[in-house]
Structure 1
Amino acid sequence: MKCDVYLSFDGNCEEAIDFYKDVFDGEYQVMMRYKDGPPEYSKPEIENKIMHATLSFGNGCELKASDNFFKPINKGNNYHVSIAADDEEQGYAIFSSLMEDGEVTMPYNDVFWGGKFGSGVDKFGIQWMISSPH
């Protein structure tokens, strides 16, 4: 069994997934535009937007994403994408990159349960939790 994170955007998926590719030093497994799908999805105003993208990084991690034009996207605070970094240095680098132009809700620092932890909302409205061992 495998569980992946699938993110929906309202037109800026390519910008977001490119940003995450840089942050995580990832590789695209799939990058499909609406014009590449069935004809009923290839409307001129969205034909170059992302129908589906899969970004792989780390040890078996994947982020999947798309632009969603079929129902309004309600950005909420009931989820976080959680990343367990290999070490403190990697965790700090990921956290710092994700929080560029974002909002830190808990600075990346020592935590009472051990290791380091930080959380925040990136510039695309996605909530992240980054942790690492000492």
Structure 2
Amino acid sequence: MKCDMYLTFDGNCEEAMLYYKAVLGGEFTVTMRYADGPPEYSNPEIENKIMHQTLIFGDGCELKASDSFHEPLNKGNNFHVSISTSNEAQAFSFFKGLSKEGTVTMPFEEVFWGGKFGSCIDKFGVQWMVSLEAKTI
């Protein structure tokens, strides 16, 4: 079993996913535009927007996303994308990249439960949690 995060954007999915790829590394395994879909999606206003995209990075992590098709997007605060790693340099790099031009809601630093942790809202309004796993003896 696995659980993936799926993000929906208001027309800037491609920009956001390219940004995440630059920060997190990895590769796109699927990129499908609305023009690639069935005829009911043949609307010139959205044909070049992202219908579905998957970014694979790290050790089996997947981030999936699309542009909203019908309704205006209502951004909420009921989700975070959570990344956990045992590599401190990688964790710091992820946090630094994701928080650039965004808002740090908790600085990346040592935490009482062990390891390091930080949270931020990126420049696209997506909430992130980055954890450095505590070392065990």
Same fold (TM over 0.5): yes
- SS of equivalent to 1:114: coil
The offset of 1:67, in angstroms, is 0.2
- Cα distance in structure 2, aligned partners of 1:108 and 1:85: 13
1:12 maps to what in 2?
12
2:28 maps to what in 1?
28
Contact 1:13 1:49 in 2 (8 A): yes
Letter in 2 for 1:55: L
1:53 maps to what in 2?
53
Pairwise mapping of residues 59-74 of structure 1 onto structure 2 (< 5 A)?
A: 59-74=59-74
Deviations 1:46-92 (A, max 9, x none): 10000000010011110000001212211111111110022211110
Deviating runs (4+, > 6 A) in structure 1?
none
Deviations 1:96-127 (A, max 9, x none): 00001000000000111111000010000000
How many residues matched?
134
- SS of equivalent to 2:129: strand
- SS of equivalent to 1:46: coil
1:91 maps to what in 2?
91
Letter in 1 for 2:40: E
Contact 1:20 1:26 in 2 (8 A): no
Letter in 1 for 2:13: C
- Cα distance in structure 1, aligned partners of 2:8 and 2:75: 10
- SS of equivalent to 1:94: helix
State the TM-score, normalizing by the size of structure 1: 0.97
Report % sequence identity: 66
Deviations 1:1-57 (A, max 9, x none): 221100000100000000011111110000000000011102001100000000100
Letter in 1 for 2:38: P
- Cα distance in structure 2, aligned partners of 1:117 and 1:2: 23
State the TM-score, normalizing by the size of structure 2: 0.95
The offset of 1:133, in angstroms, is 2.8
- Cα distance in structure 2, aligned partners of 1:120 and 1:55: 20
Cα RMSD (Å): 0.9
